[in-house]
Amino acid sequence: MPVAIYPGTFDPVTFGHIDIAIRASKIFRKVYAVVAENPTKKPLFSARERREMLQEALGEHKKIEVVTYAGLIANCVRDYQATAIIRGLRALSDFEYEFQMAYTNRNLNDKADTVFLMPSVEYTYLSSSMVKQLSRLEGDVSSFVPEFVRLELLRKMGKER
């Protein structure tokens, strides 16, 4: 069975991310959940914090290993001897961007096939951006993220209760 990478910013990790990672682990022998360090994004959490939260969220799943990677995802595929890139498709609005990225990665590395997985219906419109915005406005995010992530969001935003 092949190996896959599941790259993302995971800022923060949500139940949708967890759902996709677990689904991928049922298809692939090994899945590397890759905390991407993207210099164009300004994440709320550091790469170390994101990796630690993702590790805590996925730690019981032995077929999933959490790593951090700075660089092209097409190169990450090569470095981890993977043959697939896992991407979650929530809605039609994701498709155009993901389609472009899939072709770009395939152009850079002909072994980089992209596999699109749909999350469970309850996570279809869930995004890390939405979770951060809700948290900033003191909304309840407990149905979107694990409890330890909710607490980290409160701590990071100085809203601990």
Would strands 30-36 and 3-8 be described as parallel, antiparallel, or unpaired? Answer: parallel
Q: Could you list the active site residues? A: 17, 41, 90, 128
Confidence tier at 160 by pLDDT (50, 70, 90): low
Which residues are within 8 A (CB) of 42 and not within 5 positions of it... i.e. 6 or more apart?
Answer: none
Best CA proximity match to 25, nearest among 46, 6, 10: 6
pLDDT at 9 over 70: yes
- Is 0.75 surpassed by the pTM of this model? yes
Kindly state the percentage of the chain with pLDDT values over 70.
98
Q: 161 pLDDT band (50/70/90 cuts)?
A: low
| Ordered structural domains, the chain, with CATH | 3-124 (3.40.50.620)
